Amino acid sequence: MNVCVYGAASDEIDDSFIRAGEALGKTLAGRGAGLVFGGGAHGMMGAAARGAHSMGGFILGVAPRFFDRPGVLYEACTEFVFTETIRERKQYMEDNSDAFIVTPGGIGTMEEFFEMLTLKTLDRTQKPIVLYNVNGYYDPLRQMLQVSAAQGFLRPEDLSAFLITDDPDEILRYIMENV
């Protein structure tokens, strides 16, 4: 089983996020799950990769060629695939993953989450989606989605199309039960 992890590429985040990302990578690899990620060496992406690597896990990095600059990409991947565009990168990651974990991140991470959620609510995928709620990062998003459902912009059942948790063990349990 391969699990896609989306997340920040920035190191300008609190160390508690980095530690949580490393713990997630260790949990994935410790349970025999491969890591599919955007190939970045820094932020939540790099943290998850370092955690998986420390446990001898399989790591598939996927990045567009324009990111191939010194110090940007994680160099200890088991496999690395280069694409020409971000769109191709996302498609490759989706096609080669059985589940998706969205760690804290910025615009790109949010876009990846909403694309997968859209696909799931339109019955284009049944793959599990989890928001890794480190330090309550996704609490405001949860509230926004609840307001959207209460006001009729989302179906109430769409709120159960994903899990929000800060526990890596619960993440893996949920994924294993829903793959």
Positions of E strands within 110-177: 129-132, 163-165
pLDDT, mean of residues 3-16: 96
The answer to whether residues 15 and 44 touch, using CB atoms and an 8 Å cutoff, is no
Question: What is the three-class DSSP state of 131?
Answer: strand
Beta bridge mates, 80 = 61
pLDDT score, position 162: 98
Residues sharing a CB contact under 8 Å with residue 150, sequence separation 6 or more, in sequence order = none
Predicted confidence band of residue 2 (pLDDT cuts 50, 70, 90): very high
128-142 pLDDT, tens digit per residue, is 999 999 999 999 999
Average pLDDT over the chain, rounded to an integer: 97
pLDDT score, position 83: 98
Q: Copy the structure tokens of residue 134.
A: 């480190």
CA distance 38 to 140: 25
Positions of E strands within 38-138: 59-64, 79-83, 99-102, 129-132
pLDDT score, position 178: 97
The answer to whether residues 157 and 146 touch, using CB atoms and an 8 Å cutoff, is no
CA distance 39 to 47: 11
The single residue listed with the structure tokens 């790109």 is 108
pLDDT score, position 110: 98
pTM as predicted: 0.97
pLDDT, mean of residues 175-179: 96
Predicted confidence band of residue 25 (pLDDT cuts 50, 70, 90): very high
pLDDT score, position 124: 97
Question: What is the three-class DSSP state of 76?
Answer: coil
Which contacts (CB < 8 Å, 24+ apart) does range 76-82 have? 76/49, 77/39, 77/49, 78/34, 80/39
pLDDT, mean of residues 48-61: 98
55-114 pLDDT, tens digit per residue, is 999 999 999 999 999 999 999 999 999 999 999 999 999 999 999 999 999 999 999 999
Chain centre distance of CA 130: 8
pLDDT score, position 98: 98
The answer to whether residues 147 and 118 touch, using CB atoms and an 8 Å cutoff, is no
Could you tell me the domains of the chain? 2-178 (3.40.50.450)
